[in-house]
Chains A and B, each alone.
Chain A
Amino acid sequence: MIQNLFDGILVGSILSLGAIGLTMVMHMLRFANFSHAELLSLGAYVALVFDKLLELMVPGLSQTIGGLSLTFSLILAIVISMGVTGVSAIIIDWLVFRRLRDSAGPLSMVFASFGVALIVRNLISLVFGLKSKLYNEEIVFAVRVSTDPLLLIKLDQVFVLGMALVIMLIFHFVLSRTTFGYALKAVSENPTLAQVNGVRLAHMIRLIWLIGGGLAAVAGVFYGLNNQVSFLMGKDLVLSLFAAVIVGGIGSIYGAVAGGFLVGLASNMALLILPSGYKPAVPFLIILIILSIRPMGLFGENK
């Protein structure tokens, strides 16, 4: 019970990070982006590559931090991966979605995003192989926090949860204290009026992809630390991310954060009553329940 609660919060924090970018894109560009989850896998693999590269170049970086399995090089690799993944998201938009935005309807973009997801996911598996990978091959033992009820926690997990919360807090300050935050709010409330006031829409769209991609990369690395780095990560997470966005209400960033935690908790608590094989279907049930009782989401506005 307590173990499920902890696992739920941990997975929830990762989902929240991923859902922030998705909700921004779904609100601003008005399409359900089925390829967003692939940015998580892309971020996880880019970090893996730079982690190994940095270890080779600067051997001192391969030292682990404290009792974590995390190395200094991985921390640096995460930062690099955030940038690379964010820029990749901009490039994908430039190659595919931007062209369809001008010529076709939003549903064509939904459709194209399926294609993009297939391409990205399978290119990753073509380059990195079908087998899943680990950031650190050493076995990390969990600490027995309590025996009855049983609660096992790895130090890495505490780190992941803490970092996820810190990143969300930083993003909160960016949203509420900077010009970018105000501009984002303005554009999402009324794009035309925001443009009249000198907010450049194309610029904002690029920033949204950059930030959404960057946060997705962190989420991907954290998911990889907690489980494994696999090209199927995106496929496994896409529905949970959508569930988080819909629970929170499309366009609500704080809603997406709350939705992420809720979906993570619900998926893990559901294991108490459902056989574990049914876990992938839980986000779908959440989506159906929310859509039938409160389609605008818990934090969305009624339009």
Chain B
Amino acid sequence: MIGIISYLVFFLTIGFVLAIAVLGLNLQWGYTGLFNGGVSAFFGAGAYGVILFGGSNKAGQLIGLGLPYPFAVAGAVLLAGLLALIVGLITTRLRHDYLAIATFGVAIAVENFARNAGPITGGAKGLRGFERPFESAINDPFWFNLAYLIFVLVVLIIVYNILESIARSPYGRLLRAIREDEVAAQSLGKSPARVRHQAFILGSMIMGLSGALYATFYAFISPQDILPILTFQIWSMLIVGGSGNNRGAVLGTLVVWAGWVGSGWALTKFAPVEAQLYVGTIQFIMIGLIIVLTLLTKPKGLLPEQLIISHSLDWTESDRDCANCKKQVGL
């Protein structure tokens, strides 16, 4: 029984951590229409950042600032933001798929750096040994993990509420306006390139936060944790849930994460021994199929984006169809 509960705690912790990254992607893709092909890079910057800033200096390790935990997380988030600032500076004003290619490249470069810059990142072995706050005070792995789950859930709720209030604010409307029609937004005196850059940085910082929480949970990070497949997993979570809908993003995360964990468990348990090597391969095909089939058959996802219409519109003059939008908005 305790085994099942601690597994459930693990499942939910990682699920909520990933949900934060999916919310960050939703701000970029769902609301602003920015294609980030390198989620794993910004997640990785946060994950490595928190251990580099918060961990203590070990033998052969160049960086290990030993900052108090909140500062380490803040530093990790800023590191992810800095990476996005640089990449966005070059690409957010160009043809839209350049951003996809450049971010995909960042992910490869970050993984490459993590693998090779041994003195800083620990190389392929990764970085371990990170003193987590309250770990020694609680002094019991089960209760500590439970406490950490609650902490992650609180962070997820805070991030969700911030993003929801952004989505409903004039700034949220501006993001969607740029997504729908950049020229029209420009003609109203807005600067699409600058706003796209801001949304890109903010979304990437949220991914960095997710990475920081991930590395804190394991007290360990290695290049294996930031492979490009992570980007595709997070993408599939968003599209299954429904891009442009924060609730959908969280729901999609849990659905796909359950599918991933469940299929891994079923394959290792029931597949013949000689097929065991290919468990990952089959799961990758599954993620690919989820992406392609969702795009083809249900592009709006489980919880489609809800139309938000300005309250100052005169409803009495609108046509019959708009009664529907009112219902959707909840008026």
Contacts and interface: CB of A to CB of B under 8 A. Distances in A.
Contact of A34 (B90, B96, B104, B116): B104
Contacts of A121: 284
Interface stretch (A3-11, A44-52, A142-150, A278-286): A278-286
A228 to B, nearest CB: 18
Interface in A276-297: 277-278, 280-281, 283-285, 287-288, 291-292, 295
A116 interface: yes
B100 interface: yes
A258 B109 CA distance: 24
B36 to A, nearest CB: 11
Interface in B260-319: 277-278, 281-282, 284-285, 287-292, 295-296, 299
A111 B112 contact: no
Nearest to B34: A107
B91 interface: yes
Contact of B282 (A126, A242, A280): A126
A56 interface: no
B100 A119 contact: no
A278 B108 CA distance: 10
B115 to A, nearest CB: 7
Interface residues of A, number: 46
B109 A284 contact: yes
B97 interface: yes
A22 B194 CA distance: 30
Contacts of A117: 288
B98 to A, nearest CB: 6
Interface stretch (A57-65, A96-104, A216-224): A96-104
A125 interface: yes
Nearest to B239: A111
A287 B296 contact: no
A1 interface: no
A122 interface: yes
B172 to A, nearest CB: 20
Given A107-B33, A114-B235, A295-B98, A281 B113 contact: yes
A118 B106 contact: no
Contacts of A207: none
Q: Which of A108, A122, A250 has the most CB of B within 10 A?
A: A122
Nearest to A30: B97
B143 to A, nearest CB: 39
Q: What DSSP secondary structure best describes chain B's contact surface?
A: helix
Contact of A106 (B37, B94, B97, B98): B97
A23 to B, nearest CB: 13
Given A114-B235, A239-B105, A295-B98, A277 B288 contact: no
Contacts of B296: 96, 99-100, 112
B94 A31 contact: no
A115 interface: yes
A281 B94 contact: no
A99 B295 CA distance: 10
Contacts, number: 130
Q: Which of B91, B94, B98, B288 has the most CB of A within 10 A?
A: B288
Contacts of B109: 281, 284-285
A246 interface: yes
Contacts of A112: 291-292, 295-296
Contacts of A281: 108-109, 112-113
A130 interface: yes
Given A32-B97, A118-B232, A130-B277, A108 B285 contact: no
Contact of A283 (B105, B277, B282): B105
B35 interface: yes
B178 to A, nearest CB: 14
B195 interface: no
A119 B35 contact: no
B284 A118 contact: yes
B184 interface: no
B295 A111 contact: yes
A100 B289 CA distance: 15
A154 B108 CA distance: 31
Nearest to A238: B104
Contact of B96 (A107, A275, A295): A107
Given A107-B100, A118-B287, A295-B98, 19 more contacts: A34-B100, A100-B296, A107-B96, A108-B299, A111-B291, A112-B291, A115-B290, A118-B284, A118-B288, A119-B292, A125-B278, A126-B285, A238-B104, A239-B105, A250-B95, A280-B112, A281-B108, A284-B105, A288-B105
22 contacts: A26-B97, A32-B100, A110-B100, A114-B232, A115-B289, A119-B288, A121-B284, A122-B284, A125-B278, A125-B281, A126-B281, A130-B277, A239-B104, A246-B98, A277-B112, A280-B108, A281-B112, A284-B105, A284-B108, A288-B105, A291-B90, A292-B90
Interface of B: 33, 35, 37, 87, 90-91, 94-98, 100-102, 104-106, 108-109, 112-113, 115-116, 228-229, 232, 235, 239, 277-278, 281-282, 284-285, 287-292, 295-296, 299
